[in-house]
Amino acid sequence: MVDLSIKLAGIDLKSPLVLASGTAGYGVELASICGYSGLGAVTLKSLTIMPRPGNRSPRVWETTGGMLNSIGLENAGVDAFLSDFLPQLNELGVPLIVSIAGETAGEYALLARRISGAPGSIVAIEVNVSCPNVEKGGLMFGAEPQASGAVTSAVVENTGLPVFTKLSASVFDIVRIAEAVAAAGASGLSLINTLPGMAINPVTGYPRLGTVSGGLSGPAIKPVAVKAVWDCYRATGLPVIGGGGVYNALDVVEFMRAGATAVSIGTATFQNPCRFEQIACELPDIMNRTGALRPADLVGSVKV
């Protein structure tokens, strides 16, 4: 019998499967379609201090093996989340990873404090650094080691919860950023966010997304994600929540072998909201075929 439980930066989770930020809403909607058994944790869509209306429509477009989105961090804001959603979520009993996004390091610090003061199922904070850094002329925080480190420090100093910084793989050297984040005290890394992309309707000439460009996710990006996980795991040794294009249990094992302690499922949820349940069912069998008794046996086990 395979035991699916894991220890992720000190947190006990009953499964390595985690729902990715932005693809599982506030966590309550899916609970009415699928049970949450088989799931380690739900990462909530990134919260900002103030509510955000998000981007112009259309916001999604399917591409070969993946999709583009430009949701634009639409969310109700941290206060509405704490008052309107968290109580319901606490009743579901599923561990929560709260993703936060800010425009200044100060905003991240404030969000971390708010979240940490909240009761209940929150087990970790995920720091989304793929946001424009308003103090630095709109450059994404995650583009630079210093900015990524600074934001991570700001969060770490304002919470007792484990902190996972979520990196973008659309940089030349993700390892330097991972190292900066490690030095800033992150408990772990979350890899990877979407890749910047764009699509145009060839016939009409209009971009497929209202904001022209957006983020590419889904199976198409899996090889980029697996490499990012392996590079960062090897360089920092930090626990990794790895994902990008996960579709089935084989993909989950692939990410574990690359160094992921937990594995996130994002876009695949759109193909089937209960996909993670199916994956949880398939996983023990695949693990058996590798000879692993528990997920930890597989982490970083790629034979290089």
- Give the residues lining the site for its own copies (CB under 8 A): 63-66, 68, 140, 143, 170-173, 195-200, 202-207, 212-213, 216, 218-224, 226-227, 230, 245, 247, 250-251, 253-254, 257-258, 286, 289-290, 301-304
**Site for ligand FMN contains 46 (CB under 6 A):** yes
> Which residue, 185 or 234, is less far from its own copies as judged by CB?
234
> Which residue, 104 or 213, is less far from other proteins as judged by CB?
213
Choice among 34, 131, 232, 281 that is catalytic: 131
Binding segment (CB under 8 A) for other proteins, from list 122-130, 179-187, 202-210, 294-302: 202-210
Q: For the sheet containing 66-69, what is the strand order?
A: 60-63, 66-69, 213-217, 195-198
Give the contact letters, 47-76, x = binds to other proteins (CB under 8 A), - = no.
------xx--xxxxxx-xxxx-x-x--x--
Among 14, 175, 270, 290, binds other proteins (CB under 8 A): 270
The CA dihedral of 288, 290, 292, 295, to the nearest 10 degrees, is -100
H or E segment and range at residue 96: strand 96-100
Residue 118 backbone phi and psi in degrees, to 5: -85, 145
Q: Is 274 one of the annotated active-site residues of the chain?
A: no
Q: Please, is 120 exposed, middle or buried when counting C-beta atoms within 10 Å of its C-beta (0-12, 13-18, 19+)?
A: middle
Amino acid at 132: P
Which does residue 158 bind out of ligand FMN, its own copies, other proteins, none, counting CB within 5 to 8 angstroms by kind? none
> Which residue, 149 or 244, is less far from ligand FMN as judged by CB?
244
Binding segment (CB under 6 A) for ligand FMN, from list 8-16, 151-159, 172-180, 217-225: 217-225
242: nearest Cα among 193, 276, 283: 193
Whether omega for the bond prior to residue 58 falls within 30 degrees of 0, making it cis, is yes
Which does residue 271 bind out of its own copies, other proteins, ligand FMN, none, counting CB within 5 to 8 angstroms by kind? other proteins
Among left, alpha and beta (phi > 0; psi -120 to 50; other), residue 254 is: alpha
